[in-house]
Copies of this chain bind each other. A is one copy, B any other.
Amino acid sequence: MEKLKDLLRSNDLKATHQRIAILECIDKFGHINIDAIYDYICEKYPTMSKATVYRNINELLSYDIIEEIKLPHKNKKYEIKKVPHIHLLCKRCSKVEDLFLETKPFFNSITSHTGFKIDHSFIVIDGTCRACQQS
């Protein structure tokens, strides 16, 4: 809570209730889309406008406080910015799992094949999570 306020202020963003609520919500759910953020926060702040969610999401993106995740055939989701990682999307339970895995060998192979200079990667793996395989 105070940590979130500091995070906003260190980026010259005012720590409004709405912004804090949006960040707390994203943090709580891990990976979440606009509508779900809006619905969740409306419980606490019924006057909150959806435009405020969009406006703040874009603001937070531009300061690299959050980042956008594009999933196949789904709406965009957002998460608190972390170190680079991979997303595992379960088609059964729809959960998005973070995987922090060493990608250097894979990236080196890409660069040596193509000469492409890599900045970022966006890796989504579709399949069935361990829990869903057992049920």
A binding-site residues for B, Cβ under 8 Å: 68, 70-73, 86, 88, 90-91, 97, 99, 101, 103, 105-107, 109-110, 113-130, 133
Q: Which listed residue (B99, B120, B124) contacts A127, Cβ 8 A?
A: B120
Centre residue among A86, A110, A127 by max chain B CB count within 10 A: A127
| Pair B119/A109 contact, Cβ less than 8 Å | no
Interfacial chain B residues near A114, Cβ < 8 Å: 88, 97, 99, 129-130
CA distance A119 to B123 in the complex (A): 13
Q: Which listed residue (B73, B90, B101, B105) contacts A110, Cβ 8 A?
A: B101
Interfacial chain B residues near A73, Cβ < 8 Å: 68
Interfacial chain B residues near A121, Cβ < 8 Å: 123-126
